Amino acid sequence: MRKILDQLVQRKPAQSKAPEKSEPRAHWQRSGHIYYLLDTLKLSYESHCGRVTYEKINVDSLHDLCDELVRGRQIAPRETAHVPELFSLSVCGVCWEELGTQIRTKAIPEAACLRFENIEYSASEAKFQMVDRMTDDGVTPLAHQFGFDKAIRRVNNISVGEFIQFLKKCNTHIPGHLVNKLAIRSENFDSVFTLTESHLLDQVLEQGPLLNVK
């Protein structure tokens, strides 16, 4: 095998050079704050007909919506052994990272969620992404995160109203210089691709079909 590689690979003569000095890499530091975009509230659940999702829900209409869904026949939450599926109420968020005087924002597709059976009851489980969780790894929805994860905080038995009020309260504690850098809006979550990813995808598609169909 070594002889074959020597025949295929043309090796360049070794050249002596001074060792390069490695410069220390700068690391972005998390600011320790998460801003919740309340206009991205999403309600999802499994019905008798399949997955149902309501996006960009108005907080004021959430109570009436849940009541109507529970009373519906085909759109009601699916039951398994007489136990209905849980509603999942989630919200997107934004966090900041700082490097000296530089600040950059990062989107969190699901920063917090609340799972509940009935909006009238407080029996529920809330999950909040902590700022230590790597946002790039936050692909799996919080509602499907089971087991222990120190980067996810769990709170049991809070009402939907308390959940919303908690999110609003957290937003009031964000430093002003970070809020001024809030460049991410609810529209940024309308697509599964970022602007950079969409641009790269367009370039690939312009080169021709990905599959040669015969």
- Quick one: tokens of 11? 């090796």
- How many whole angstroms separate alpha carbon 84 and alpha carbon 72? 13
Order of strands across the sheet with 152-156? Answer: 51-55, 29-46, 87-99, 102-116, 124-129, 152-156
Average pLDDT of 23-45?
85
DSSP 36: E
**Does the pLDDT at position 39 exceed 60?**
yes
- Quick one: tokens of 141? 């929805």
Task: Tell me how crowded residue 174 is: count the other CB atoms within 10 A of its CB.
Answer: 17
Mean pLDDT, the chain, rounded, equals 77
Residue 207 buriedness (CB in 10 A; 0-12 / 13-18 / 19+)? exposed
Q: What is the pLDDT of residue 115?
A: 94
- How many whole angstroms separate alpha carbon 190 and alpha carbon 56? 10
Q: What is the pLDDT of residue 164?
A: 95
**Does the pLDDT at position 146 exceed 90?**
no
Q: Is 2 helix (H, G, I), strand (E, B) or coil?
A: helix
Average pLDDT of 101-114?
87
pLDDT band at 213 (very low <50, low <70, confident <90, very high): very low
Q: What is the pLDDT of residue 1?
A: 41
pLDDT per residue over 165-211, tens digit each? Answer: 999 999 998 888 888 777 655 555 555 555 555 566 666 667 665 55
Q: What is the pLDDT of residue 187?
A: 57
Average pLDDT of 123-150?
68
Q: What is the pLDDT of residue 163?
A: 95
pLDDT per residue over 50-103, tens digit each? Answer: 999 999 999 999 999 999 999 988 899 999 888 889 999 999 988 888 888 888
The DSSP string of 66-132 is HHHHHH-SSSSBPEETTEEPPEEEEEEEEEEEEETTEEEEEEEEEEEEEEES-TTS--EEEEEE-TT
Q: What is the pLDDT of residue 156?
A: 93
- How many whole angstroms separate alpha carbon 60 and alpha carbon 84? 24
Q: What is the pLDDT of residue 208?
A: 61
